[in-house]
């Protein structure tokens, strides 16, 4: 990804945030992300077409159909591991343009009983993207429902997937000053015309779980994704009550660490996160250790994270590429090989992206995670 020639415009959301901060003082980065991404009218996901070659960023299911097909087979195997329940929920949170679900269902048709047993729930906050999902999936025979939140999904045995969802859940940042941890906030630049980072005047509340001051140095930045941890706990509790598995794929680090991972992307290039809110995607890396802890404390079985490259390979990526390439032209085969390389090579998406599975404790280790 390149750095952009920044041509930031003042957005209506930015004007509103400036007024709000002038009156009430700086806001948390989490509140900023919530508005910039999810404001009902001007939020990025509500008002843009984020994903795909014509959007601002591209995701694995948009790069290669094999990604979703392998996950489809993983889901069929998981359903078998659950004793092939005659009715179950197949949930996707944050389905984007519906590509992953379309590929999952195509691969899963190998077992029509799976598709017939599934009630599909697409949990999506953006009306615009729901519309794209409806268009993409309208020819599917399976029953599809949309929900605003995971809590709306009916009880029952469940298989859940979420690709590149957790990275857009709001984070808070804390910075180690000389003597204490303080929250990094969004305030105003000197001329009051632009947004700028600032630091809270008072130390972080003692109830927050932050690394100790003694073991850190001034300037360290620590991130907390409260929404991601709460959603993980909610999914874990739900799976324990209802039986099932959740497969979460996203980019991030295995162990909690220090550093500023807040980033924005616009038109396939990095963008300053506080410029033109509502017009750029804003994300942060996932702290898988924190999510794993949340799931474990709720009582779920936790598998991984393992790298996306290793996960896809264990599910048969190379074999699938080889088989597909036998029946098509050399040019098409080249394209398939290249897209498979993009989603699995360590230098591309294979290493930074991780697969992570939560499961009700009654089930065996899921395919791809044996021995993890
Ligand atoms: N999974 C897709 C899209 C990733 S983009 C893919 O891999 O291509 C993030 C998606 O999550 C978008 O569909 C966005 O509208 C949705 N989203 C963002 N916040 C959400 C939330 N809190 N609940 C449900 N969906 C959300």
List the chain pLDDT tens, one digit each, 372 residues. 665 556 678 999 999 999 999 999 999 999 999 999 999 999 999 887 889 888 889 999 999 999 999 999 999 999 999 999 999 999 999 999 999 999 999 999 999 999 999 999 999 999 999 999 999 999 988 889 999 999 999 999 999 999 999 999 999 999 999 999 999 999 999 988 899 999 999 999 999 999 999 999 999 999 999 999 999 999 999 999 999 999 999 999 888 889 999 999 999 999 999 999 999 999 999 999 999 999 999 999 999 999 999 999 999 999 999 999 999 999 999 999 999 999 999 999 999 999 999 999 999 999 999 877
For 204, the 3-state DSSP assignment is: coil
Phi, psi of 139 (to 5 degrees): -90, 0
Give distance in angstroms: CA of 94 to centre of ligand 1: 3
Distance of CA 188 to the CA centre of its chain: 29
Q: For ligand 1, what atom is nearest to the CA of residue 50?
A: 5
Give distance in angstroms: CA of 221 to centre of ligand 1: 26
Helix extents (H) in 25-98: 29-38, 44-47, 60-63, 65-81
What's the pLDDT tens digit per position in 6-28? 667 899 999 999 999 999 999 99
Give distance in angstroms: CA of 185 to centre of ligand 1: 25
What's the pLDDT tens digit per position in 99-121? 999 999 999 999 999 999 999 99
What's the pTM?
0.96
> Is 250 a domain residue?
no
> Is 188 a domain residue?
no
**183 touches 200 (CB < 8 A):** yes
Q: b/e per residue, 280-303, with b = 16+ CB within 10 A?
A: bbbbbbbbbebbbbbbeebebbbb
Residues 6+ apart with CB under 8 A from 9: 276, 279
Indicate whether residue 283 lines ligand 1 (CB < 6 A).
no
Indicate whether residue 225 lines ligand 1 (CB < 6 A).
no
> Is 321 a domain residue?
yes
**228 touches 169 (CB < 8 A):** yes
Nearest to residue 17, comparing CAs of 1, 30, 32? 32
Q: Where are the beta strands (DSSP E) in 17-139?
A: 27-28, 88-93, 118-123
Tokens 């944050």 belong to: 94
**17 touches 27 (CB < 8 A):** yes
Testing ligand 1's pocket by substitution, the residue of 50, 55, 71, 96 carrying the most ligand atoms inside 8 A of its CB is 96
CA distance 199 to 260: 14
| Nearest residue by C-alpha to atom 3 in ligand 1 | 96
State the angle between helix axes of 65-81 and 99-108 in degrees (0 to 180), rounded to the nearest 10.
60
Tokens 């008072």 belong to: 202
Indicate whether residue 65 lines ligand 1 (CB < 6 A).
no
**Mean pLDDT rounded to a whole number for the chain:** 95
CA distance 276 to 13: 8
> Is 331 a domain residue?
yes
Cis ω before 305 (30° cut-off from 0): yes
> Is 337 a domain residue?
yes
Provide the domain limits for residue 319. Answer: 314-352
Tokens 């697409």 belong to: 122
Q: For ligand 1, what atom is nearest to the CA of residue 62?
A: 8
Give distance in angstroms: CA of 193 to centre of ligand 1: 31
Quote the pLDDT of residue 4: 53
Quote the pLDDT of residue 3: 58
Give distance in angstroms: CA of 363 to centre of ligand 1: 28
**249 touches 356 (CB < 8 A):** yes
> Is 84 a domain residue?
no
| Nearest residue by C-alpha to atom 5 in ligand 1 | 96
What's the pLDDT tens digit per position in 199-254? 999 999 999 999 999 999 999 999 999 999 999 999 999 999 999 999 999 999 88
> Is 225 a domain residue?
no
Number of domain units in the chain: 1
> Is 342 a domain residue?
yes
């Amino acid at each position: 990804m390149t750095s952009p020639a920044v041509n930031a415009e003042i957005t209506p959301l930015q004007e509103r945030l400036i007024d709000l901060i002038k009156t009430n003082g700086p806001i948390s980065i989490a509140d900023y992300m919530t508005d910039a991404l999810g404001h009902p009218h001007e939020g990025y996901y509500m008002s843009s077409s984020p994903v795909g070659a014509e959007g601002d960023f591209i995701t694995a299911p948009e790069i290669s159909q094999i990604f979703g097909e392998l996950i489809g087979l993983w889901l069929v195997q998981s359903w078998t591991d659950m004793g092939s329940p005659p009715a179950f929920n197949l949930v996707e949170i944050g389905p984007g343009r519906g590509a992953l679900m379309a590929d999952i269902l195509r691969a899963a048709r190998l077992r029509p009983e799976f598709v017939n047993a599934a009630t599909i729930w697409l949990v999506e906050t953006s009306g615009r993207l729901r519309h794209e999902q409806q268009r993409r999936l309208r020819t599917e025979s399976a029953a599809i429902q949309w929900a605003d939140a995971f809590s709306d999904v009916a009880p029952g045995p469940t298989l859940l997937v979420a690709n590149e969802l957790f990275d857009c859940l709001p984070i808070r940042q804390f910075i180690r000053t000389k003597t204490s941890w303080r929250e990094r906030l969004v305030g105003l630049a000197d001329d009051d015309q632009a947004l700028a980072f600032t630091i809270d005047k008072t130390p972080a509340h003692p109830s927050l779980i932050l690394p100790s001051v003694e073991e850190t140095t001034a300037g360290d930045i620590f991130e907390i994704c409260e929404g991601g941890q709460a959603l993980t706990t909610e999914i874990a509790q739900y799976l324990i009550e209802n039986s099932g598995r959740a497969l979460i794929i996203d980019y991030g680090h295995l162990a909690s660490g220090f550093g500023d991972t807040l980033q924005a992307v616009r038109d396939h290039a990095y963008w300053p996160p506080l410029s033109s809110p509502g017009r750029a995607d804003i994300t942060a890396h996932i702290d898988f250790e924190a999510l794993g802890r949340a799931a474990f404390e709720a009582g779920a079985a936790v598998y991984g994270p393992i790298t996306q490259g290793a996960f896809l390979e264990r599910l048969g990526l190379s074999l699938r590429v080889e088989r597909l390439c036998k029946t098509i032209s050399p040019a098409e085969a080249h394209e398939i090989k290249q897209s498979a390389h993009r989603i699995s090579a360590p230098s591309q998406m294979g290493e930074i992206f991780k697969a992570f599975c939560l499961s009700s404790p009654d089930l065996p280790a899921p395919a791809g995670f044996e021995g993890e």
